[in-house]
Amino acid sequence: MHVLWIFLVWIVVFAGIFWRQRWVLPLGIVGLIATVVFLKMNMDSTIPLNF
């Protein structure tokens, strides 16, 4: 997954805040999950700190 998509999700979330849309929090949760996936994808070092 490309990090660009995460930031595009946040742009949509912020646009949703301006228009007080109900889907802002659910889409925000999607953004958070995508961020965790991106974090996991970058745990590629050999040190014993990966989860």
Partner 1 sequence: MTTQVKLARVLNLLALLALLGVLSGSLHLQFGQGEPPCPLCLVQRSGMIALAVGPLLNLFTGIKVRNYAFAILAACVGGAGSVRQILLHIATPGDPGYGPEVFGFHLYTWADITFLIAVVGISILLMWPGQFTANDRGLLGTPGVMRVLTITVAAWYLIYLIAMTIFIIPMCGIGMCPADPPETNYLPSNGAWLAIGGAGILSLLIGIISNSRMRRR
Q: How far is the CB of 21 from partner 1 (least distance, A)?
A: 10
For 31-36, the CB contacts below 8 A with 24+ separation are 31/6, 34/1, 34/5, 34/6, 34/9, 35/6
Rounded to whole angstroms, the Cα distance separating 42 from 39 reads: 5
Which residue has tokens 């646009």? Answer: 15
> In the window 10-49, what residues touch partner 1 (CB under 8 A)?
10-11, 13-15, 17-18, 20, 24-25, 28-29, 31-32, 35-36, 38-39, 41-43, 45, 47-49
Q: Which residues bind partner 1 (CB under 8 A)?
A: 2-4, 6-8, 10-11, 13-15, 17-18, 20, 24-25, 28-29, 31-32, 35-36, 38-39, 41-43, 45, 47-49
